[in-house]
A and B are shown apart, each in its own frame.
Chain A
Amino acid sequence: MAVPKRKKSRSRTRSRRAQWKAAPLTLVACENCGQTKVPHHLCANCGTYDRRQVVEV
């Protein structure tokens, strides 16, 4: 069975993992309450979408 010949150095491991990055979240201000929210989603703060009350908060 094929097995690794050499131990991966800490440097290699860490260099590889340095590329694990979280993408920044796109956020917009809610039209109704001004809180930041995910675009094209219900506002979690005031429960409106497109200036219309969709759910009671």
Chain B
Amino acid sequence: MPQPKKGARLGGSPAHQKLILANLAKALFEHDKITTTEAKARLLRPYAERLITKAKKGDLHNRRQVLAVLRDKDIVFRLFDEIAPNYENRPGGYTRIIKAGNRKGDNAPMAVIELVEALTVQQTAVREAEAATRRATKEKAEKAAAPAAEVVEEAPAVEAEAEAAEATEAEAAEKE
């Protein structure tokens, strides 16, 4: 049995939701920044980011898939040739949602959703460095976890030997 998706549906019917999301994505890719209700922005974010991921791949198949959704060649051109190259070295997270208070009239919580800026060279470097340190600490932790067990086994034996040595020294001192 088909499982309905969690959460509310925009517009009431599946077809209407598809249209709303496609139109919002179109507006977003045309203007880079749109103001909408927070619920719509939250649903639009994964939808639009999936389209951008397709645009980053950039081949004809992906272009046709995006065109089947957006149905506007100018906007698809802009998405593939102007927006996607900005995000070449960004691993997802292409949009930003900022809450913008409640709408006058129906008190609906509004939000601004916008395409984030391209990563600067500096940001890319910082991110790579952070990833490298994360990897290093992870490897270190794994290494530490593996020999730790061996060390624990050896330690009591070493201590026992040391105690024995001390004891013999003490005995020797008493004899003198």
Contact yes or no, A41 B112, CB < 8 A: no
Which residues of B are found within 8 Å of A54, using beta-carbon distances?
A: 33, 98, 112, 114
Interface of chain A, main secondary structure: loop
Shortest distance in angstroms between A31's beta carbon and chain B's nearest beta carbon? 14
Shortest distance in angstroms between A44's beta carbon and chain B's nearest beta carbon? 6
Contact yes or no, B101 A40, CB < 8 A: no
- Give the size range of A's interface with the partner: under 10
Shortest distance in angstroms between A11's beta carbon and chain B's nearest beta carbon? 34
| B92-121 Cβ-contact flags toward A at 8 Å (1 or 0) | 000000111100000000001010000000
Question: A28 contacts the other chain (Cβ, under 8 Å)?
Answer: no
Contact yes or no, B99 A42, CB < 8 A: yes
Tell me the chain A residues, 9-53 only, with Cβ under 8 Å from chain B.
Answer: 38, 40-42, 44, 49
Shortest distance in angstroms between A28's beta carbon and chain B's nearest beta carbon? 13
- Using CB atoms and an 8 Å cutoff, list the residues of chain A in contact with chain B: 38, 40-42, 44, 49, 54-55
- Using CB atoms and an 8 Å cutoff, list the residues of chain B in contact with chain A: 33, 35, 98-101, 112, 114
| Sample (22) of A-B pairs whose CB atoms are under 8 Å apart | A38-B99, A38-B101, A40-B99, A41-B98, A41-B99, A41-B100, A41-B101, A42-B98, A42-B99, A42-B100, A42-B101, A42-B112, A44-B101, A49-B98, A54-B33, A54-B98, A54-B112, A54-B114, A55-B33, A55-B35, A55-B100, A55-B112
